[in-house]
Amino acid sequence: MARARQDDPNTHRTMQVVNHIRSLIENGTLQPGDKIPPEREFARSLKISRASLRTGIGYLAAMGVMKIRHGVGTFVADGPPEFGKASLSLIGALHGFQSWQMFEARIILESHLAALAAERGKADHHTALAEEVAEMFAAMNTPPDYLIHDLTFHRVISQASGNPILAAIIETITSALYDSRRKTVERSTDLRESAEMHRKIYRAIRAHNAKEAHNLMEQHLRMAQVAQGMERPTDRRGSPAASKAKRVRSAPAAAVPA
């Protein structure tokens, strides 16, 4: 039991990964575009489990510090890392933010950001969005990886809006959402619908159709809110039968990460 707690991704071992990579970036050992060591080798050097390493890397990818490429590897992102930002997830824990409140904020902000991205987005933004959509389709069998590309897609849209203030607000929300979504994303039952919606949003932005981008983003987030509300984490304290029963009851729900 002690080992199970030690390897729990919610323990200090996840932050050990984050802090270690942070120090490597800050001291120049890792540069933008560098590929990190293979998972087995890296986990052994940190003396942690590969599961804890993957969770730590997932946090960094959700923060925009790392980029995961399916079948290729994990790289340091080209942009500056955002280590210094206050965690909205911590603020939310202190003040009791609710899921519906987070989604309400996202629907108001991101639908308008998508419209701005359609008006102001440049070719490099379109390329980045296309890459993330392709990665989503490639990662449909690995929901945790899918989630990271999903969040990165939304981050690119906020950057393409040309408004750094709104982009910073979305960044804090995105980081907070990752912490909760990673705990349930394995229960997603239909990622293809989600990927298709992202592809439609990308095409509207690329076509500079602001109204269509706005409407598609709002539709996507409302669908995601309903689907995520139906997700249920596996009850580790219960019996296998109880867990199976929960899976059966919730199976019809299509979980759509956003």
pLDDT tens digit sequence for 1-50:
334 344 444 456 777 788 888 788 778 888 888 888 888 888 888 788 88
pLDDT tens digit sequence for 44-102:
887 888 888 888 888 788 777 788 887 788 888 775 444 444 445 544 544 556 778 88
**pLDDT value for 258:** 66
CATH of 2-76, one of 1.20.58.1180, 1.10.10.10, 3.30.930.10, 1.10.4010.10: 1.10.10.10
CA atoms within 13 A on the CB side of 180: 21
d(CA 11, CA 217): 35
Enumerate residues 6+ apart whose C-beta is below 8 A from 71.
Answer: 138
pLDDT tens digit sequence for 114-172:
999 999 999 999 999 999 999 999 998 888 889 989 989 999 999 999 998 888 888 77
The CATH number given to 88-250 is 1.20.120.530
Predicted confidence (pLDDT) at residue 234 exceeds the cutoff of 50: no
Predicted confidence (pLDDT) at residue 241 exceeds the cutoff of 50: no
pLDDT, the chain, mean: 77
CB 97 within 8 A of CB 91: yes
Q: How many CB atoms lie within 10 A of CB 84?
A: 5
pLDDT tens digit sequence for 178-197:
767 777 778 776 789 999 99
Domain ranges of the chain: 2-76, 88-250
Burial-class residue 13 by CB neighbours within 10 Å (0-12, 13-18, 19+): buried
Enumerate residues 6+ apart whose C-beta is below 8 A from 203.
Answer: none
